Homo-oligomer: A and B are copies of this chain.
Amino acid sequence: MRVLVLGSDGYLGWPTCMYLSQAGYEVIGADNYFRRTAAVELDCEALVPTPNLIQRAKIWEQVTGRKIITHIGDVTNYEFLLSLFEAYHPDAVIHYAEQPSAPYSMLNRDKAAFTIQNNLLSTLNIVYAVKEISPDCHIIKLGTMGEYGTPDIDIEEGWIQIEHGGRKDKFLFPRQASSLYHTTKIQDTDLLWFYVRTWGLRVTDLMQGPVYGISTDEADMDEKLIPNFHYDEIFGTVLNRFIVQAVAGYPLTVYGKGGQIRGYLNIKDTLQCVHLSATQPAKSGELRIFNQMSETFSVNELVERVKIVGKKLGYDININHLENPRREKENHYYNPKYTGLLKLGVKPHYLTDEVIEGMFRIVETYKDYINRDAIFRGVKW
């Protein structure tokens, strides 16, 4: 099977390339280095300096003998994307090529406009390239649990049957997100759902909770294959940030009361989810939606878990409840369903103390790289 990974230089994109390559897939990765460029601009680079995509593919080949084909270019440039489809006729395309940060999208109008244009035009271009060149190609698109927000009803996997006035019909589950970034992910679903109905595309939407972790079987083969691990306010996810804050002796930053509940998953589970979705594709004319998480925690639960493990490792850990810079509920009902991916065969990696300790151990190795100024920026909305 031939898989095109868009956004292949990213935190999830690069580990996905390696995982699928190791599984024997023919992998083509493309990236425009947006994240690297933005991280330099905002002085919030990844914890560990990672070789560029072309270099990482070379190292991967040296280590495993397997080849990952790489192209540097922008998916919002239709000619570039079309040239990839014409050259490789992929069986599946994995769409990580979106601007992935809520705080980045809220910095100012220009960043908001960039997020809209990047995320929607990349999705539109994939739709058109698939239709024109490979109509049977399976589009695997990363959504986010954040699209649903925190409704007062159970969150189904993407769809809901509504009874109203004695009649009923089936609809996309209602979505209302709490950042512009998350809103663009609602919008790209609007886009894909329209073209799925109209042109019979095959699409799987993986509604991902926050991902944590730095270790994957493939990344562990060589230090230079490590994912680009962010711990800053702009690009870092919450657990990754807490670990780095703990190691840096920085108070763990909880927004508001800390009662916000989300569904989390280990980076290793992301790889399984994407892989198993690719091996069991959506049908033509189907928008298949999975909620992608392994377990739910409140922010307070997470911070306590980190504190316990940190203390055992000899760290003096303080927790700082900041005034919440975001508009979000700090105490709310949260009951998402997430059995679809288990049925596909995903074996979850749960967040044990050993997993947290493992993250501490890796971050400790790179302790001197931590840029304390990147940890907190105070982006408000």
- Given A109-B125, A198-B381: A165 in contact with B153 (beta carbons within 8 A): yes
Please give the distance in Å from A114's CB to the nearest CB on chain B: 10
- Given A174-B171, A187-B190, A190-B187: A160 in contact with B164 (beta carbons within 8 A): yes
Contact A169 B197 (CB under 8 A): no
Contact A117 B121 (CB under 8 A): yes
Q: For residue A168, which residues in chain B have a CB less than 8 angstroms away from its CB?
A: 152-153
Contact of A194 among B154, B164, B183 (CB under 8 A): B183
Q: For residue A109, which residues in chain B have a CB less than 8 angstroms away from its CB?
A: 78, 124-125, 128
CA A186 to CA B188, docked complex, whole Å: 11
CA A190 to CA B188, docked complex, whole Å: 11
Q: For residue A171, which residues in chain B have a CB less than 8 angstroms away from its CB?
A: 151, 174, 176
Query: 8 Å CB contacts to B: which residues of A146-190?
Result: 151-154, 160, 162-165, 167-169, 171-172, 174-180, 183, 186-187, 190
Residue of B nearest to A76 (CB): B113
1/0 contact string of A121-138 vs chain B (CB within 8 Å)? 100110010000000000
- Given A113-B124, A160-B162: A190 in contact with B197 (beta carbons within 8 A): no
Please give the distance in Å from A20's CB to the nearest CB on chain B: 28
Contact A116 B121 (CB under 8 A): yes
Please give the distance in Å from A33's CB to the nearest CB on chain B: 22
CA A193 to CA B120, docked complex, whole Å: 18
Q: For residue A176, which residues in chain B have a CB less than 8 angstroms away from its CB?
A: 171-172, 193-194, 197
Q: Is A376 an interface residue (CB 8 A)?
A: no
Q: Beyond the given A116-B191, A180-B191, please list 15 additional residue pairs across the A-B interface where CB-CB is below 8 A.
A: A78-B113, A113-B121, A113-B125, A116-B120, A117-B117, A151-B169, A153-B168, A160-B162, A167-B333, A172-B174, A176-B193, A179-B194, A183-B190, A183-B194, A198-B327
Q: Is A3 an interface residue (CB 8 A)?
A: no
Contact B198 A190 (CB under 8 A): no
Contact A153 B128 (CB under 8 A): no
CA A176 to CA B192, docked complex, whole Å: 11
Please give the distance in Å from A121's CB to the nearest CB on chain B: 6
Please give the distance in Å from A309's CB to the nearest CB on chain B: 35
